[in-house]
């Protein structure tokens, strides 16, 4: 199977990263719909990964055959898949005890952790201006979701675990860029999660009972495949430390989804926070353009 080389196309990487998190919002929207319809959260996790794995096989296997299963660094692929699944499980556990506002605030510290990890693990350079833009973006997240006064609970360690595992997943995605193909990375991340989740999810299975739920049930795997495909290609085009701040745009997508799908309009603080996040992302985009132009 051909492996696309690492490129130096920062703007393309940023656009793909933003599209990836738009698609990831589809995952969360579908998951919320299914949970509200009565499906167990762990079953939703299984459906999300099983659909992802099935699409990977249907799209690639007829063309590539056994080459799909070949990895130049199988241990790293497995470790990447474990980090992705572990982040999902930790987040589900934390949500059981903590408010979504609080867990979301903690999760959006991921870009800071990715930047920190990208220095020793990837050898990337992160300048003070980019650090400043990341912190400004994180302030925007805090303004939007305002997690003030949340009581400390032991489940906070699960939220922190989700952040650490998600950060490691992003870093390993960059490490595997140009090593294994996007299709191979897709297969191992989704396939491993499917195998590990199947014994738990299938113990007390329940099917959707209405058309809307069946639609969400069918789309969640497609969103998973498409989002991670975009993510892999984005990390092939640009450094992880450059792409990581654009995780923040998901709060804008999530706000729109809540308003349109679940009839939960944003508060004024959400709009203010979103504006700060956009300014942070635009600054990083302008900074990268200036650096490429040699200014």
Query: What are the pLDDT digits (tens) for 95-132?
Result: 667 666 667 767 777 777 777 777 776 666 767 777 78
Residue 66 lies in a domain: yes
> Does residue 284 carry a pLDDT above 80?
no
The full length of the chain comes to 295
Query: What are the pLDDT digits (tens) for 218-272?
Result: 998 899 888 878 887 888 888 877 787 777 787 788 788 878 887 877 777 767 8
Of these ranges, 81-90, 145-154, 270-279, the one predicted with the greatest mean pLDDT is 81-90
Residue 38 lies in a domain: yes
Give how many domains the chain has, as a whole number.
1
Residue 3 lies in a domain: no
Q: Which domain holds residue 66?
A: 10-292
> Does residue 4 carry a pLDDT above 60?
no
Per-residue model confidence (pLDDT) at position 214: 95
- At residue 147 the predicted structure's pLDDT band, cuts being 50, 70 and 90, is low
Residue 1 lies in a domain: no
Residue 82 lies in a domain: yes
DSSP the chain: ---PPP---HHHHHHHHHHHHHHHHHHHHHHHHHHHTT--HHHHHHHHHHHHHHHHHHHHHHHHGGGGG--TTHHHHHHHHHHHHHHHHHHHHHHHHS-HHHHHHHHTTHHHHHHHHHHHHH-----HHHHHHHHHHHHHHHHHH--TTPPP-TTHHHHHHHHHHHHHHHHHHHHHBTTB-HHHHHHHHHHHHHHHHHHHHGGG-----SHHHHHHHHHHHHHHHHHHHHHHHHHHHS-HHHHGGGGGGHHHHHHHHHHHHH--PPPHHHHHHHHHHHHHHHHHHHHHHHHHTT-
Per-residue model confidence (pLDDT) at position 1: 47
> Does residue 215 carry a pLDDT above 90?
yes
Query: Higher pLDDT residue, 3 or 184?
Result: 184
Q: In this structure, are residues 112 and 138 in contact, taking their beta carbons and an 8 Å threshold?
A: yes
Query: What are the pLDDT digits (tens) for 159-175?
Result: 888 888 988 888 888 78
> Does residue 23 carry a pLDDT above 80?
yes
Per-residue model confidence (pLDDT) at position 44: 86
Per-residue model confidence (pLDDT) at position 200: 86
Residue 181 lies in a domain: yes
Residue 2 lies in a domain: no
Whole-model pTM: value is 0.71
- Report the candidate in 164, 180, 182 with the shortest Cα–Cα distance to residue 75: 180
Query: pLDDT exceeding 70 applies to what percent of the chain?
Result: 83
Per-residue model confidence (pLDDT) at position 19: 93
- Report the candidate in 58, 61, 76, 87 with the shortest Cα–Cα distance to residue 180: 76
- Report the candidate in 109, 104, 138 with the shortest Cα–Cα distance to residue 32: 104
Query: What are the pLDDT digits (tens) for 45-102?
Result: 899 889 888 887 887 778 777 777 877 888 888 899 899 899 988 877 776 676 666 6
Residue 280 lies in a domain: yes
Residues 6+ apart with CB under 8 A from 32: 262
């Amino acid at each position: 199977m051909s492996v696309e080389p690492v490129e130096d196309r920062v703007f393309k990487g940023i656009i793909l990263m933003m599209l990836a998190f738009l698609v990831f919002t589809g995952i969360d929207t579908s998951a919320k719909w299914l949970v509200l319809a009565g499906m167990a959260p762990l079953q939703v996790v299984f459906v999300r990964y099983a659909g992802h794995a099935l699409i990977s096989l249907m799209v690639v296997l007829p063309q590539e055959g056994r080459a799909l299963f070949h990895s130049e660094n199988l241990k790293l692929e497995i470790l990447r898949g474990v980090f992705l699944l572990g982040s999902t499980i930790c987040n589900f556990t934390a949500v059981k005890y903590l408010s979504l506002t609080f867990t979301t605030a903690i999760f959006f510290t991921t870009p800071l952790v990715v930047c920190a990890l990208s220095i020793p693990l990837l050898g990337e350079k992160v300048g003070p201006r980019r650090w400043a833009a990341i912190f400004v973006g994180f302030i925007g997240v805090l303004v939007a979701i305002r997690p003030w006064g949340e009581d400390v609970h032991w489940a906070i360690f699960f939220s922190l675990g989700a952040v650490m595992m998600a950060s490691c997943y992003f870093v390993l995605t960059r490490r595997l860029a140009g090593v294994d193909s996007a299709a191979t990375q897709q297969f191992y991340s989704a396939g491993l999660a499917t195998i590990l989740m199947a014994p738990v999810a299938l113990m007390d299975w329940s099917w959707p009972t209405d058309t809307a739920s069946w639609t969400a049930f069918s789309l969640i795997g497609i969103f998973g495949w498409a989002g991670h495909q975009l993510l892999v290609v984005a990390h092939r085009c640009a450094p992880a430390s450059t792409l990581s701040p654009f995780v923040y745009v998901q709060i804008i997508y999530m706000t729109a989804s809540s308003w349109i799908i679940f009839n939960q309009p944003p508060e004024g603080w959400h709009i203010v926070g979103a504006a700060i996040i956009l300014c942070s992302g635009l600054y990083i985009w302008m900074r990268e353009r200036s650096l490429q132009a040699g200014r």
